[in-house]
Amino acid sequence: MIKKLTSTLAGAFIFITAVNLFSRGLGFFREILFANYFGRGINFDVYLIAAVIPITINTVALFIGQNYFIPAYHKVKSRDPDSTNKFFTVNFFIFILIGFLISIVLYFFAETIIDVYLQTDNNSIKEIAVNIFRLFLITIPFTFAISILSAFEQAEYKFKYPAIGRLFLNLTIIPILILFTDKFGIYTIPLGFILGIFLQFFYLLIKGSSRVSFSFFSLKDKREVFNFLDITIFSIILIETIGQFYLLADRYFFKMVDQGGIASLSYAFNLFNLPVSVVSLAFATVIFPKFSENIQTKSFDNLQKNLSDSISANLLFFVPIAFLLFFYGDDIIKLLFERGKFYSSDTLDTFLALKAYAFSIIFYSTYAIFNKIIYGAKFVNWLLLITVAGIVLKIVLNFIFVGLWKQNGLALSTSFSYLFFFLASFILVYKKLPMKNQSLFFKELVFHLTNGFFSYIIIQLFFYYIIPNYNYINLVKILFFLPVYILNVYLIGNRSLVLVKELLNSVRSVKSI
């Protein structure tokens, strides 16, 4: 019998990581095009400010769809398996309605919202911002629908279609940027987003069309709708909305940073977020249904094993990435972005912001794992408290740091808030659940940090004494760093590499996806 890649958790992780890597690779090519066509110019800053609220709402919708729907779906399925399709259908149409209402309200308040962020008397710039803002509002109802379509597939351990669906956005934006930027300028970005999200929505709808039933509209008692909405959705909406405030908070300081400072933050954060989006979110997406199932069935030994394995593998990936971003980020930025309207001075400014982000990637990626356990355990009120406290910390630090280090201060405040999210979620999980081995993360972290510094020193000494004068020496150092790091892990026999080997071995017999 043919074994499908996505039929196992390990196989699903491999598949999602591969698709995410391709998708984020496209996304990074998109960022390269942004840098080439727009650099750190005023129009790109205006786009970043105008798009932040709609994009934040779309991001919140995707997180809500996953973090609300999957645990609630498993709860309904355990109580009444025959109700799952109706549960899906009700949530699907309710989410579309919510997205549509949000778009309508924001459309009429567009000028007021833009005035709050831009704080400028330049009417032409203001008009561009309002137009971009309103164009992005078109995507909101479709993204709300996508969130439920994707979450339903993931709840059924079917990861293929949501992963493929994410490719449409960048596959659409890239050719539109190349073909139409000269004609439409900065407007090509929102137009590309709109078309890409349309295609993603229709792809997922076609794949899941047999699940959608229009009997939702014929319910005799309309109050029956609320029987298929889990009460936790309201707390989750607050958590995910507040959790995205860091982007809104940074854009508010547009007038207090250098010109192009917001663009530097955007380029740096996208580079910082690339590995998180590819690896950590793949971990979280694949393991979340299993976490939820372990908690529902009170299989805490399995939960502990799944958590420990996720932490170990996560640190193996992200500690060396943190070193690369911190020590070699300028060369990475130069290689990726320094062309067209993105100059050498822009590389330096973006690198300084990237260094402020870099140290927190370890904690941010691990928090993504703990976050899924918290949702699976229905500790949403605790998570709401943590989220509010973390965002308050972020905003307070913004006011303190922006006067000292401008946009780099905003990046640093984000890193401190990520550190807080990790520590608070770590304490919550180990206090509220019967879990052991609390010291695993810190033991693994010390090991990988020590290995990282040791590998960095080896590389520096080798190239200083053996190959001292080579034009592209730092790029070669980057290529050598990871093999040296992994070799050290292999020689010591750390468990994280064993886990990755097992994961790869589990898909050797795969014949299809």
Crossing angle of helices 84-108 and 123-137, in 10° steps, is 160
For tokens 């890409």, name the residue.
Answer: 196
User: Residue 136 domain-assigned?
Assistant: yes
DSSP 336-357: HH-STT--HHHHHHHHHHHHHH
Q: Residue 3: is its pLDDT beyond 50?
A: no
User: Residue 485 domain-assigned?
Assistant: no
Q: Residue 394: is its pLDDT beyond 70?
A: yes
What CA–CA distance (Å, rounded) separates 497 from 503? 10
Q: Residue 277: is its pLDDT beyond 90?
A: no
Winning range, highest mean pLDDT, from 171-180, 274-283, 297-306: 171-180
Average pLDDT estimate for 184-192: 94
Q: Residue 169: is its pLDDT beyond 80?
A: yes
Q: Residue 98: is its pLDDT beyond 50?
A: yes
Average pLDDT estimate for 246-264: 83
Res 322: pLDDT: 95
Winning range, highest mean pLDDT, from 282-286, 339-343, 500-504: 339-343
What CA–CA distance (Å, rounded) separates 340 from 185? 15
Residues in the chain: 513
User: Residue 247 domain-assigned?
Assistant: no
Res 286: pLDDT: 67
Q: Residue 219: is its pLDDT beyond 60?
A: no
Tell me the per-residue pLDDT of 475-513, one tens digit each, with 9 for 90 and over: 888 888 989 998 988 888 777 776 666 655 544 444 444
Winning range, highest mean pLDDT, from 5-9, 336-340, 455-459, 504-508: 455-459
pLDDT-wise least confident of 54-58, 72-76, 310-314, 319-323: 72-76
What CA–CA distance (Å, rounded) separates 25 from 166? 12
What CA–CA distance (Å, rounded) separates 176 from 105? 29
Residue type, 452: G
- Euclidean distance between the first and the last CA atom of the chain, given in angstroms as a whole number: 13
Confidence of residue 222 (pLDDT cuts 50, 70, 90): very low
- Residue 359 DSSP label: T
Res 229: pLDDT: 53
Are 12 and 284 in contact by the 8 Å Cβ rule? The answer is: no
Q: Which domain holds residue 90?
A: 40-230
What CA–CA distance (Å, rounded) separates 210 from 161? 14
Average pLDDT estimate for 62-89: 77
Q: Residue 233: is its pLDDT beyond 80?
A: no
Residue 374 vs residues 244, 388, 435, 464: alpha-carbon distances, Å: 18, 15, 13, 47
pLDDT-wise least confident of 171-175, 283-287, 346-350: 283-287
Assigned token pair, 384: 């709401």
Res 436: pLDDT: 76
Q: Residue 215: is its pLDDT beyond 60?
A: no
Average pLDDT estimate for 131-152: 94
Q: What is the CA radius of gyration of the chain?
A: 23
Q: Residue 399: is its pLDDT beyond 90?
A: yes
Instruction: Name residues whose C-beta falls within 8 Å of residue 394's C-beta, 6 or more positions apart in sequence.
Output: 245, 246, 249, 413, 414, 416, 417
Q: Residue 359: is its pLDDT beyond 70?
A: yes
Are 198 and 45 in contact by the 8 Å Cβ rule? The answer is: no
User: Residue 425 domain-assigned?
Assistant: no
Q: Residue 2: is its pLDDT beyond 50?
A: no
Tell me the per-residue pLDDT of 370-382, one tens digit each, with 9 for 90 and over: 888 887 787 888 9
Confidence of residue 77 (pLDDT cuts 50, 70, 90): confident
User: Residue 169 domain-assigned?
Assistant: yes
Residue 389 vs residues 63, 341, 382, 394: alpha-carbon distances, Å: 19, 39, 11, 9
Which element (helix H / strand E) includes 509? none
Give exposure, 228-257, as e/b (b: 16+ Cβ within 10 Å).
bebebbebbbbbbbbbbbbbbbbbbbbeeb
DSSP 248-298: HHHHHTGGGS-TTHHHHHHHHHHHHHHHIIIIIHHHHHHHHHHHHHHHHTT
Give the number of other Cβ atoms within 10 Å of residue 110's Cβ.
18
Task: Report how far Cα 446 is from the mean position of its chain's Cα atoms.
Answer: 26
Are 362 and 418 in contact by the 8 Å Cβ rule? The answer is: no
Give the chain's domain count: 1
Res 245: pLDDT: 73
Res 505: pLDDT: 57
Q: What are phi and psi of 221, to 5 degrees?
A: -105, 105
User: Residue 350 domain-assigned?
Assistant: no
Are 414 and 394 in contact by the 8 Å Cβ rule? The answer is: yes
Task: Report how far Cα 63 is from the mean position of its chain's Cα atoms.
Answer: 9
Confidence of residue 276 (pLDDT cuts 50, 70, 90): confident
User: Residue 468 domain-assigned?
Assistant: no
Average pLDDT estimate for 160-181: 89
Assigned token pair, 234: 């309201």
Task: Report how far Cα 58 is from the mean position of its chain's Cα atoms.
Answer: 12
Are 500 and 316 in contact by the 8 Å Cβ rule? The answer is: yes
Name the average pLDDT for the chain. Answer: 82
What CA–CA distance (Å, rounded) separates 142 from 165? 13
What CA–CA distance (Å, rounded) separates 237 from 232? 9
Residue 141 vs residues 88, 100, 158, 171, 375: alpha-carbon distances, Å: 17, 5, 23, 21, 24
Tell me the per-residue pLDDT of 6-65, one tens digit each, with 9 for 90 and over: 445 555 666 666 776 787 788 878 988 998 899 888 888 899 889 989 998 998 888 887
Average pLDDT estimate for 167-184: 92
User: Residue 78 domain-assigned?
Assistant: yes
Which element (helix H / strand E) includes 150? helix 139-155
Tell me the per-residue pLDDT of 405-438, one tens digit each, with 9 for 90 and over: 999 999 999 999 999 999 999 999 888 888 777 7
What CA–CA distance (Å, rounded) separates 107 from 116? 15
Tell me the per-residue pLDDT of 108-139, one tens digit each, with 9 for 90 and over: 999 999 988 887 778 888 999 999 999 999 99
